[in-house]
Amino acid sequence: MSNHNQDLKWIESGFAALEAKLNGASNLPVHQLRKQALENLFETGFPSSRDEDWKYTNVKDLLKRSYSLSKKDDSKVNLESIIFSEAGYRLIFVDNSFNSNLSRLPEGISAFTISEILRNPEHESYSNLKLRLSEYTEWGAYAALNTAFSTDGFYLHLKENQKVDQPIHLIFITSSSEIATHPRVILELDKNSSLSIVETYTGSGSKYFTTAVTQINMAEDSYCDHYRIQDEALDAFHFSSLRTTQASSSILKTNSFAFG
């Protein structure tokens, strides 16, 4: 891959805006990891049709445009056609910012937003989150971009024998045009734990850009039923990656539906 003739100034300006918002948190180890991911992206550039894995995918229109950091606008959120059950577990992110008023977390398990963990380096899950964020290096340019801008998403750790009694629905909504969001989902399943989870990506804007990375790490005899629903705007760009590690006798069932 090469970054020749690729205009990445919008990424540079977006990262500068992110750093300005972080204040003192820009000195934390996770942000150094973000900076390294950005450097890796600039070294390799985005893939083009000259790359074997991308020869049938044209991303020129994406690279011609500029995107800004997301601006959360809950007023444009319409959940009626998205939420499966009012009583179910759900986490809603508008422009990749968690909306606690619209969300319902399961109790009794280690389930956090990534922003909550990042605010506290002493958090029980901080070290493992940092480790998982660092695992992007072999996953390509869009995973590097996601890592460079990772500020929120969902982190779940099921301990041995824990089972979630209902599906968890993660809803990522983009509310405006010409913005970029980079949600991250990290699931840790210990021995004999089980989970059903649904990710939905949708938007009311147009010509927006999403990179999504999901990591599922499964110990022996664990079970995960995973669904991803991509229902983005027709002129939006969506790049997603699912990465898994599985121990013996673990079972992962995954289904992906793309409508946008």
Name which of 79, 1, 9 is nearest 40 in CA terms: 1
Rounded CA separation 143/57 (Å): 17
Rounded CA separation 8/10 (Å): 5
Q: How many CB atoms lie under 10 A from the CB of residue 149? A: 24
Dump pLDDT digits (tens) for 149-176.
999 999 999 999 999 999 999 999 998 8
- The CA-CA-CA angle for residues 226, 112, 188, to 5°, reads 45
Question: What integer pLDDT is reported at residue 71 of this predicted model?
Answer: 64
Question: What integer pLDDT is reported at residue 239 of this predicted model?
Answer: 93
Indicate the pTM of the whole model.
0.91
Question: What integer pLDDT is reported at residue 72 of this predicted model?
Answer: 60
Is pLDDT of 127 > 50? yes
Rounded CA separation 161/158 (Å): 8
Domain boundaries, the chain: 71-258
Question: What integer pLDDT is reported at residue 1 of this predicted model?
Answer: 41
Question: What integer pLDDT is reported at residue 47 of this predicted model?
Answer: 87
Is pLDDT of 6 > 60? no
Rounded CA separation 118/29 (Å): 10
Dump pLDDT digits (tens) for 202-260.
988 788 999 999 999 999 999 999 999 999 988 899 999 999 999 999 999 999 999 86
Question: What integer pLDDT is reported at residue 80 of this predicted model?
Answer: 61
- DSSP strands (E only) in 97-248: 97-104, 110-113, 153-158, 168-174, 179-181, 184-189, 194-203, 209-218, 223-231, 237-246
CA diameter of the chain:
52
Rounded CA separation 167/83 (Å): 12
Query: Could you tell me the sign of the dihedral formed by the alpha carbons of 38, 138, 48, 178, in that order?
Result: negative
Question: What integer pLDDT is reported at residue 77 of this predicted model?
Answer: 60
Question: What integer pLDDT is reported at residue 5 of this predicted model?
Answer: 44
Is pLDDT of 70 > 70? no
Dump pLDDT digits (tens) for 22-43.
887 888 889 999 999 999 999 9
* More confident position, 58 or 158: 158
Question: What integer pLDDT is reported at residue 208 of this predicted model?
Answer: 92
> Which amino acid does the sequence have at 92?
I
* More confident position, 180 or 63: 180
Phi, psi of 123 (to 5 degrees): -60, 145
* More confident position, 36 or 101: 36
Dump pLDDT digits (tens) for 103-126.
888 889 999 999 999 999 999 999
The H or E element that residue 258 is part of is: strand 251-258
Name which of 235, 198, 225 is nearest 92 in CA terms: 198
